[in-house]
Every structure is written in structure tokens, then in C-alpha cells.
Chains A and B, each alone.
Chain A
Amino acid sequence: MFESLSDRLQGVFQRIGNRGRLTEKDIDEAMREVRRALIEADVNLGVVKEFIGAVKERSLGAEVLKSLTPGQQVIKIVNEELVTLLGSEQVPLVHANQAPTIIMLVGLQGAGKTTHAAKLAVHLRKGGQTPLLIAADIYRPAAINQLQALGKQINLPVYDEGVGETPPKIVERGVRVARDKGNGTVIIDTAGRLQINEELMQELVDIKALVKPHEILLVADAMTGQEAVNVAREFNEQVGLTGVIMTKMDGDARGGAALSIRRVTGVPIKFLGTGEKIDALEAYYPDRLASRILGMGDVLSLIEKAQSQFDENDAKALEKKVLSGKFDLEDFLSQLQQVKQMGPINQLLEMIPGLGAAARKQDVQVNDDDLKQIEAIIRSMTTEERRNPQLIKGGRRKRIAKGSGRQIHEINELLTQFKQMQKMMSAFGKGGFPGMGGGGGGRGRFPGLPF
């Protein structure tokens, strides 16, 4: 449904590719794409602006402009800044010195507090605890029954006093019960409320004053839009948050709200809810969330892989060749080998945004066998021929076909496509973005390779 950010960035950098090195204007254009992607991911506009400022500043730095692959560098910076903003490390739940550890869940209506109270309880039980759940939602019809039913399902105790008592009183007595019975943890399920409802916000403040929870977790729906900032800010300012659980992450929402919440409250995200099942609670990894928000799939791991395979000096040498239009079949062969080291080609293609889609659209079927065939053909050439493919005429073609066990038309096909690719590469070369180019490519057996 959405065009991924890396597709778009790729588009931008490809256009630039024909003009020359990156300029500030190019970076601005790229930043507009980043901005839009973040807005579509529901990151708050204020947060987006600030973020773009930081990324732009770094992108204008020497590391990018002088780079062989500025496009990739920019994507990397976007990702790094995003991960930094999302909190670079995991923050575990607080464990009270003196039992019980008290955890209170708060949030808007329908965010998933009750379900997550139960999930959290099961999670903590795995760590050897026996949590007591307290049902403090006296407002929503059957909210208490819901928690009771979940308690029964997971075989953990639920404390409730029906709907006739005030939540602070219920919680106070519930905590006392936990203390008496030796429950190591207490999880309080509160009613959903609007952050502008003064009376109900006061109720949370009262509960907090009475039992002093060690953790107050905001339960927030991953599908939330721009208002996430105000909601989180108000809950934080009025009640004081220690963490966030982002729920319904099993859908296809980009989850930009997480970034907004994290930015305005500074509070760490502690868990992700990923399904309706009771064990669908996951630890939080900022890098995964970052690529999800950007819709970048696995492109980052691809860049990383490519960079680790790609020796800096080799790259410089290759760049020279590309720039001077001297990229030959010999270079191509060594590129092929590097690509092969990175993993199955299909997977690689899929990982390259845009290229994967383009390949599917053109019905290009690439598999590792194709690569092997290409390799076999090139290996049947002499070094001389690899350096100067134009030498390969009739007689030589026959010999190569025989040597590699392929048909002559296949040799022709490869040579034609290589010529196209050379053209493309020198065009990219002029632009300094040979990396994720790939746009051209061929219809048929031998795809234009991404490198």
C-alpha cells in the first residue's frame, strides 16, 4: 500500500545520479521524502521537523558527501538517528527491593490495558513470580469480569471488589492482600480514560499517592495518530510514567506514535503487544521498530552486509573503473562472487527496496542457478576477453558456449545486457551512486544486477 521510504529515497538519488555529486539541495529533496514517510507513519509533525533537522545536519557532513554511496549513507543516518530517538537500549522492569513490586497500567479507552495486564502477569510468572491482578476498572461494563476470566484462563489470582468501591480503595486493599499472601508482584488494571478528564486523572494520582507503584506503564495503541504526543505528555505530567507498552503491533500500522511518545516523555518503551494470545508480548528492540516506522524492510541489514563484504579500497578502485567506463567482465565476475557470499540472490533482491518490486513486475526470475550460469560463461572466457568483451565475436562465442555448456543465444544475451549495464554504471558513476542503482536491468534470464 505504501511505497517504502527506501524506494523513494532510491528514486531521489537515482535522479541525482545523472547530475553529479550530492548537494544540499539534493539532501533537502531526500529529506522531504523522509518527512513524508514519517508523517505517513503517524510520527508527530513537531517531532518530524526536529528529526529532519538532525538528519540533515549529519547528511551534509563530509562522511556522506564524499562517500561512494551517499544514498546508502543517508539511509543509514536516518536509521541511526531514529534508533537513538527510540532509545538505544532495553530498559527492564523495575524490581522492588521490598515485595511486592507494584505495576499500574494506564491509558486511553480501548488501548488494551486489561489484556496486557494478563500478558504481563504471564510474562512475570515465567520469571518465577506469582503476580496478583487488581481489577480497578469499575466503569466499563464487565471490565472486572474480563479480568477475572483472564485470571482464570492463566490461572492467576485476581482481586476485585465489584463496582461499588472507589478504585483507590480497591487498590489499597488489593496491595495489602498481595503483601499478606506473599505475591511478589501486583498488576493494577485501571479504567481507560481521556487525558483531559480531570476527575479520572485525579483518581490515578490518588492511587499513586496511596500505593506508590514502582512502574506506571502507559498502554498505547500502535495505530494512534498525531494526538499520541498530547495523550502521553498529559499522562506523564499528571501521573508520571515509567514506561510504555505499544499494543496491536501485529497489525500493519507503522507505529510512529511510539517515536512521538518516546520523544515527548523521554520514557522508555518496555514491551510490544503483538497479538490477542496471552503470550503475545515481546521485548522491545529499537532498531526493529525503526525500520518498521520507515517501512524499510531489511534494507539496512543489506547495507550492513554489503559494507562488510565490500572492502573500502576495492570500492575506491571500482569507483575509478566505473567513473572511467572501464568496468569490465572481470570486475563483474568479482562482483558476482561478492554478491554470492552475501546469501541467496532472491533474498538479496527482495531486500533491495524497489528492485525486488521491479523484478517482480518485469517477471524477472532470478535464482542462484542463473548466477552460476553467468559465472560459468564468464569463466569460459579468456582474461583478454573479459577485459574487452567487444572482442567476443562469432568463433569465440561458439567456444565460450561450448566451454560453459550454454547456448550461443545465451552468450549473446549476457553480452548485450552487460553492455547496457556498463552504460548504466557509467551514468551512475558520474552521479556517485553506483550502489543501489539497479533500475535498468533486463527483461529475461539475466537480470541487471544490483551492483
Chain B
Amino acid sequence: MIMKFFRRGQRDEKLEQSLQKTRRGVFKQVIELFQRSEIDDDFFDDLEALLIGADIGADTTDQLIDELRAKIRERGLHQPAEAQEILRADMISLLKKAVRYRRVKILQRGVPYVILVVGVNGVGKTTTIAKLARYHQQQFNRQVIVAAGDTFRAAAIDQLQLWGERINVPVIAHQPGSDPGAVAFDAMQAAHKRAADVLIIDTAGRLHTKDNLMQELGKIRRVVQKTVPDAPQEVLLVIDANTGQNGLAQAAAFAKMVEISDVALTKLDGTSKGGIAFSIVKALGVPISYIGTGEKMDDLTPFSEESFVDGLFFEKHEGEIPV
């Protein structure tokens, strides 16, 4: 039943593994919840607690529960297990339907595919860039270069350069404190000259409430558009799965400034469930494209709605209850 939705494959297995930790603790409650004998007020209360506890937020939680109640009534259901199936399907379709723009990723020969990576401080931008560079290299055999656009934070350039050495990717960098726009400009030149397929630009972490810093992102964008008009073809917003309801404000502010095309949800190897993804996808209409599940270069996985939702609450392990 539930399992048949789960697309098995190497990548999904990895996601499943890392999300296993995410479900720790919650998992027992979920099993207990859906194994109850009847759907009563307690059932809905506990379900609500579960959804809110996953950072799904009050509005989306209400929406999910209202829909669930309506369907249970319509279909005359009495078993929590049946409710589980409905909820699961609703959550997946909520994520899927909310995507209004899915930018088709087309790489043209001779034109660098530029990825601009943005987000608030410490969410995992630089690490995600290293993983993403590696992903393009390994999965598609593309030639990648990265630009050290964070000229502000102490040793941010060193950090990216160390990653560059590890994954064998050239890093275009200026001095600390220099203009990020100039770095982006040079990186574009380098990308053209070296006929790189992909250019990934790191940016300094910035709180979405700081106007002047947000403006700077607009400037970087204009710089790359000088030589490739539709660049950056991908604007990746990095969101930390630990983020609570503020994630929505972050997403909205970055989207306003630079037209976010994709979201990466990082640190899903921790215990946070990343439920803010629902609100973000709904608000921006763009997909979560990647998830980060660790600090190593291969800890990046393409997002799948089914795996994500299953990883949150629903995956059943026959017989055993993980601790």
C-alpha cells in the first residue's frame, strides 16, 4: 500500500536513510497515532501536534486537517490507517500542485549555465555549492567552475577554495572585502574562456531584512546578465531545515529581489523535519529541487515529494520500530 508509492532506487535509499534520523522520536508517535482504533478528537489533536511539530505552520496544518476531516466525513471512514493514506496523498499533492514555475534546465553549448546561490547566514550555501558542483560533475560529466562571491565573511573565500581543491573545481576569487559584482564579472569571463558548462556563484549570507545587502544580489544578477541575458538560469535559495516560520519571510524577500527558481533544503540529517518547505513552495510556486543530508560532498539528493513526505511521517518498517 504505502510502499508502492515509494520509488526505490539508490538515491531514494540514501534519502530514506538520512531521513530515518529525522523521524526518530516522531516515528513512534506516528505509528501509535495511526494504529489507534478510532478517529476521534484526540486523534486530530495529536495529528495537529505532529504537523506543527514538523514546522508545517498553523495555516497549512489547518488546511491539511480540514481537508482530511472533510474527506473522512464524505467517505464515511473510521480507521486512522485510512486517514493516514489520505493525509499522505494530500501532503504530496500539496507540494506538487503548489509548483507554478518549474524552470526547464537547458544547458546550451558555449553558454555557461549560471547558478546563483543565496540565503541567510549559516544555512549551508557554501557547502551546498560544493555538493552541487560535484553533482554536475559526477552525474552529467559537466565542467564546473565556482565563484567566491562571499567577500565579506571571514575566511569564506578560503572555505570555498578548500572545497574547490577537494572536488577539483576551479575557484574564481578576489581579495576579502572586494566587490562581489566584480568577482561575478570575472567568473563570467572565465566561464566563457574555459568553455565551462556550469558556473556556480557563492554569495555572503545575509538576513532578508537588510535592504542594502539584498540590493547587492540584484547587482550580481545584472552583472551576469551582461554576457548571458537569461542568466542566472538557476537562482537557488538555500533554506536550513531547522528554520521555523521565519523561513517564509526569508523566501518571500529573496524571491522579491532575485526571482528564486529553486530551493535547497539543507541539514535534513538532523532531527528537524523541514515542514516550512510547504509554506515556501506554496508562496513562491517554485520547487524544492535538492536536499542536503550531511556535511560531505556527496550529501546532496534531488528532491522527491514522495520520499520527503514519507520520510516525515509515513514510511513503515515491517515489524520493527526504530528508536
> Which residues on A are within 8 Å of B, measured CB to CB?
1, 36, 39-42, 44-45, 108-112, 114, 139-143, 145-150, 153, 194-196, 221, 223-228, 230-231, 248, 250-254, 256-257, 276
Contact = CB atoms under 8 A, between A and B. Distances in A.
B120 A194 contact: no
Contacts of B243: 223-225
Most chain B CB within a 10 A radius of its CB, from A111, A142, A153: A142
A142 B124 contact: no
Interface in B48-93: 49, 52-55, 57-58
Contacts, number: 146
Contacts of A248: 120-122, 207
Contacts of A108: 242, 267, 270
B244 A257 contact: yes
Given A196-B21, A251-B207, A253-B246, A226 B55 contact: yes
Interface of B: 21, 24-25, 49, 52-55, 57-58, 120-124, 152-156, 158-159, 161-163, 166, 176, 207-210, 240, 242-247, 249-250, 252, 267, 269-273, 275-276, 295
B19 to A, nearest CB: 13
Given A110-B124, A231-B271, A248-B121, A146 B246 contact: no
A45 B50 CA distance: 9
A226 B159 CA distance: 30
Contact of B159 (A109, A142, A276): A142
B21 to A, nearest CB: 6
Interface of A is mostly: loop
Contacts of B124: 109-110
Contacts of B57: 39-40
Contacts of B209: 250-252
B242 A227 contact: yes
A225 B121 contact: no
Most chain B CB within a 10 A radius of its CB, from A39, A41, A147: A39
Interface of B is mostly: loop
B195 to A, nearest CB: 28
A276 B207 CA distance: 10
A196 B24 contact: yes
B122 A221 contact: yes
Contacts of B240: 110, 221, 223
Contacts of B276: 225
20 contacts: A39-B245, A41-B245, A108-B270, A109-B122, A110-B240, A146-B154, A150-B154, A194-B270, A194-B271, A195-B271, A196-B21, A196-B270, A221-B240, A225-B243, A225-B272, A226-B54, A227-B270, A248-B122, A251-B208, A252-B208
A139 B294 CA distance: 13
A1 B49 contact: no
Given A226-B53, A248-B207, 5 more contacts: A145-B159, A149-B154, A226-B272, A250-B210, A253-B244
Nearest to A43: B244
A194 B250 CA distance: 23
A45 B244 contact: no
A45 B52 contact: yes
A224 B242 CA distance: 5
Contacts of A223: 120, 240, 242-244, 246-247, 250
A194 B52 contact: no
B271 A196 contact: yes
Contacts of A114: 154
Given A1-B249, A40-B57, A250-B207, A111 B122 contact: yes
A330 to B, nearest CB: 47
A387 B149 CA distance: 71
Contact of B154 (A40, A45, A153, A226): A153
Nearest to A225: B244
Contacts of A141: 158-159, 162-163, 166
A90 B162 CA distance: 42
A118 B121 CA distance: 16
Nearest to B207: A251
B249 A110 contact: no
B120 A251 contact: yes
B128 to A, nearest CB: 11
Nearest to B267: A109
Given A40-B58, A231-B271, A224 B123 contact: no
A431 B150 CA distance: 58
A109 B270 CA distance: 10
B318 to A, nearest CB: 24
B231 to A, nearest CB: 27
Nearest to A195: B271
B295 A109 contact: yes
Contacts of A196: 21, 24, 270-271
Most chain A CB within a 10 A radius of its CB, from B57, B176, B207, B244: B244
Contacts of B49: 45
A250 B207 CA distance: 8
Nearest to B246: A253
Given A36-B58, A45-B53, A227 B271 contact: yes
Contacts of B163: 141
Contacts of A44: 53
B52 A142 contact: no
Most chain A CB within a 10 A radius of its CB, from B58, B153, B154, B163: B154
Nearest to B176: A149
Contacts of B162: 141-142
